[in-house]
């Protein structure tokens, strides 16, 4: 006898409906309604029906059913989660907030609920509550085992493994803020700045209250010199409901980069008023005060730093680097004691160790103990050289490629092009060549604004060189030749636009004092044909030795070895001499010793080249009040003096490697060696 077919149980029918939900929600709804006809009010079927309605775009109907379910089953997180999502999609913000608040009370360790709640609170105009919800979501994410596993992989150096884990996670939820931030960190660690910034920007856009992600984004923007955006995010961070001294510190860092020194000083003073026992903040304040020319206050700030942390090498070097301050016997004893205390941790404290050696080198130089001075400078440089990358052969090859490329014939074939703006005055040369003096003289003119050492041209040059390094072009010449007039105009306009943030006045001309731009005189000619280029040059032994005993905060990797710096100076002289031959008169040269000997004549020549009338204020440049961030910041606030012209002389017995590297460049100064 044939048995009649049995209707499936509600559980079986429910499983079939669940299987249909993703691909055919209308069929899932039909299944749910059939179950409800057999078992009216059956909660799992009501839940299936509501989810099917949401997937079908019938948000209001879904909310009505979910709302009824929530009233009857208010302690079921899945119901509250679905109601929160459905209400959000139906633009029923208040109902979404109520459901998600109930959900996060039940499940405070589930990040998704907090992030969705934050978005709804923000829509309701409850910004501070939304910010706190985002922060709660971030805190909950710290317990997420999958995220923790990816983070451990990153710390262990398994970037590819972590990348795969996060890519899979983000494929499921593309707006997961903590996963996006960590994914951005992986790109950053790989040196892939564009995707790094994009991912962290997405994390911040998804969770604007994610303070740690915003802080990381600011640092990435600073690294890529996107200063206006960095400032915007740093200002936002100040409004966090969970205030942190770090927020003020990073805002101050951005302000310093933008040249807003007074406001940065105010932030540092606010932090110290709350807690004076912060040596790093005292040091930062000292840097700002030095830049502003408030030397006595800067000394006090640096001494406050080393008093609180005697092993703080950078603060000692900052004192020594004031040039007009002499470190005495008590300072020498304190620095020697600091070095001795660092012996057991020297490998972990290399920054402090080499800064202390540079500082002792300056202290013994002031004491005229040149043997001890050279020994400490030598130790500081040798240690620093182990921490940086500089390939002198590769650099010389790049310079030779530029020299071969930018011939008069090549320039003629490129024709007109570039951005016609006459605004920029590039002051180029080597560090410690007198370029800050030239900048101070020029910025004393009412038509010329001084800014700082701007990295924009170096960044444009590096970006173009990377196209050769990555194989897009066979060599440097092919890459440069590929630039169309439109390309060159775009690059020139990019430079003008990106440097605009540093211009604080309406003066028509401005100075870019990045010394390393001598490497790009040909590129400057192509993309900014009306720019002026001033080559500040100083005796090779004076310039190179001064650079060698100077520790630079960043860049200038060629300065930590006497042979390296001698080769670099020779490369510079060679390229500039070649350019003089190919484009006579395009670059104006200022010989430091001549400027010292006959200042007025040299200043008149310089202003004549720039194309501005003579102004007597340029002869009283030391009275011009402006921020100066270079190592010569105190010296250019005094009249020109001759004392430093031969500071290398007492060290001559140890300068053999430098003389050998300079070769004929040394004997022919101030002219270039004849080819």
φ, ψ of residue 57 to 5 degrees: the values are 85, 10
What is the C-alpha separation between 622 and 607, in angstroms, rounded? Answer: 17
What is the C-alpha separation between 675 and 275, in angstroms, rounded? Answer: 62
Q: What residues does each domain of the chain span?
A: 10-141, 407-539+584-646
CA angle, 378 as apex, 655 and 350 as ends, to 5°? 155
Q: Which residue has the tokens 């200038």?
A: 556
What is the C-alpha separation between 93 and 79, in angstroms, rounded? Answer: 17
What per-residue confidence (pLDDT) applies to 347?
86
What per-residue confidence (pLDDT) applies to 650?
96
φ, ψ of residue 552 to 5 degrees: the values are -100, 140
Two tokens at 568? 């670099």
- Residue 178, sorted as left (phi over 0), alpha (psi -120 to 50) or beta, turns out to be alpha
What is the C-alpha separation between 264 and 515, in angstroms, rounded? Answer: 26
Low-confidence ranges of the chain (pLDDT < 50): 1, 5, 626, 629-634, 636-637
Give the contacts of 34 (CB within 8 A, at least 6 positions apart). 13
Beta strands in 541-648 (DSSP E): 587-591
Bond from prior residue into 670 cis (ω within 30 degrees of 0)? yes
What per-residue confidence (pLDDT) applies to 643?
61
Give the contacts of 362 (CB within 8 A, at least 6 positions apart). 320, 321, 327, 373, 549
Closest CA to 291 of 331, 258, 327, 326: 258
Helix (H) or strand (E) holding 357: helix 350-366
According to the CATH classification, is domain 10-141 in 2.60.40.420? no
- Name all contacts of 275-278 with Cβ < 8 Å and 24+ positions apart: 275/245, 276/304, 277/308, 278/308
What per-residue confidence (pLDDT) applies to 15?
87
What is the C-alpha separation between 118 and 207, in angstroms, rounded? Answer: 8
Q: How crowded is residue 472: how many other Cβ atoms within 10 Å of its Cβ? A: 11
> Hey, what CATH topology would domain 407-539+584-646 get?
Rossmann fold (3.40.50)
What is the C-alpha separation between 113 and 136, in angstroms, rounded? Answer: 10
What per-residue confidence (pLDDT) applies to 1?
46
Separation of CA 228 from chain center:
12
Closest CA to 541 of 428, 408, 446, 654: 654
């Amino acid at each position: 006898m044939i048995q009649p077919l049995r209707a499936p149980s509600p559980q079986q029918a429910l499983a079939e409906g669940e299987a249909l939900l993703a691909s055919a929600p209308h069929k899932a709804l039909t299944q749910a309604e059939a179950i409800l006809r057999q078992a009216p009010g059956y909660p799992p079927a009501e839940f299936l029906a509501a989810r099917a309605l949401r997937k079908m775009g019938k948000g209001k109907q879904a909310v009505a059913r979910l709302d009824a379910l929530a009233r009857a089953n208010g302690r079921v997180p899945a119901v509250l989660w679905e109601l929160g999502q459905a209400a959000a999609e139906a633009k029923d913000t208040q109902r979404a907030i109520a459901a998600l608040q109930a959900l996060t009370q039940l499940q405070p360790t589930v990040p998704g609920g907090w992030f969705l709640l934050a978005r709804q609170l923000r829509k309701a105009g409850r910004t501070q509550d939304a910010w706190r919800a985002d922060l709660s979501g971030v805190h909950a994410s710290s317990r997420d085992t999958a995220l923790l596993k990816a983070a451990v992989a990153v710390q262990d150096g398994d970037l590819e493994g972590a990348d795969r884990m996060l890519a899979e996670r983000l494929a499921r939820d593309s707006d997961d803020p903590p996963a996006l931030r960590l994914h951005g960190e992986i790109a950053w660690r790989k040196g892939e700045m564009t995707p790094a910034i994009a991912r962290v920007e997405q994390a911040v856009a998804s969770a604007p209250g994610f303070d740690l992600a915003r802080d990381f984004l600011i640092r990435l923007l600073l690294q890529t010199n996107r200063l206006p955006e960095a400032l915007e995010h740093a200002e936002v961070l100040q409004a966090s409901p969970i205030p942190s001294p770090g927020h003020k510190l990073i805002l101050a860092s951005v302000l310093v980069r933008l040249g807003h020194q007074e406001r940065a000083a105010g932030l540092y003073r606010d932090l110290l008023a709350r807690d004076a026992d912060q040596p790093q903040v005292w040091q930062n304040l000292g840097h700002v005060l030095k830049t502003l020319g408030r030397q006595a206050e800067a000394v006090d700030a640096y001494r406050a730093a080393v008093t609180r942390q005697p092993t703080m090498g950078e603060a000692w070097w900052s004192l020594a680097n004031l040039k007009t301050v002499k470190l005495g016997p008590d300072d020498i004893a304190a620095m020697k004691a600091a070095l001795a205390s660092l012996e057991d941790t020297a490998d972990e404290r290399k920054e402090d160790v080499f800064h202390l050696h540079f500082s002792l080198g300056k202290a013994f130089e002031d004491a005229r103990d040149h043997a001890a001075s050279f020994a400490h400078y030598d130790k500081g440089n040798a240690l620093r050289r182990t921490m940086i990358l500089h390939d002198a052969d590769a650099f010389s090859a790049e310079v030779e490629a530029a020299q071969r490329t930018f011939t008069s014939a090549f320039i003629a074939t490129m024709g007109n092009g570039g951005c016609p703006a006459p605004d920029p005055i590039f002051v180029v040369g080597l560090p410690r060549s007198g370029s800050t003096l030239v900048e101070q003289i020029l910025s004393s003119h009412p038509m010329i604004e001084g800014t700082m050492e701007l990295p924009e041209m170096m960044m444009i040059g590096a970006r173009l060189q990377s196209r050769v390094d990555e194989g897009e072009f066979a060599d440097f010449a092919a890459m440069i030749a590929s630039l169309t007039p439109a390309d060159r105009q775009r690059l020139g306009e990019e430079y003008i636009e990106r440097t605009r943030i540093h211009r604080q006045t309406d003066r028509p001309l401005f100075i870019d004092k990045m010394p390393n731009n001598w490497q790009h005189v040909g590129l400057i000619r192509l993309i900014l044909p009306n720019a002026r280029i001033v080559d500040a040059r100083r005796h090779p032994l004076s310039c190179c030795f001064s650079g060698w005993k100077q520790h630079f905060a960043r860049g200038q990797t060629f300065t930590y070895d006497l042979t390296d710096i001698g080769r670099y100076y020779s490369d510079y002289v060679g390229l500039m001499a070649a350019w003089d031959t190919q484009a006579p008169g395009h670059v104006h040269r200022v010989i430091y010793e001549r400027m010292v000997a006959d200042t007025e004549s040299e200043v008149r020549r310089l202003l004549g080249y720039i194309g501005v009338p003579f102004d007597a204020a340029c002869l009283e440049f030391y009275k011009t009040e402006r921020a100066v961030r270079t190592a010569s910041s105190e010296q250019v606030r005094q009249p020109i003096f001759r004392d430093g012209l031969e500071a290398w002389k007492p060290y001559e017995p140890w300068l053999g490697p430098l003389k050998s590297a300079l070769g004929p460049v040394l004997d022919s100064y101030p002219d270039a060696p004849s080819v």
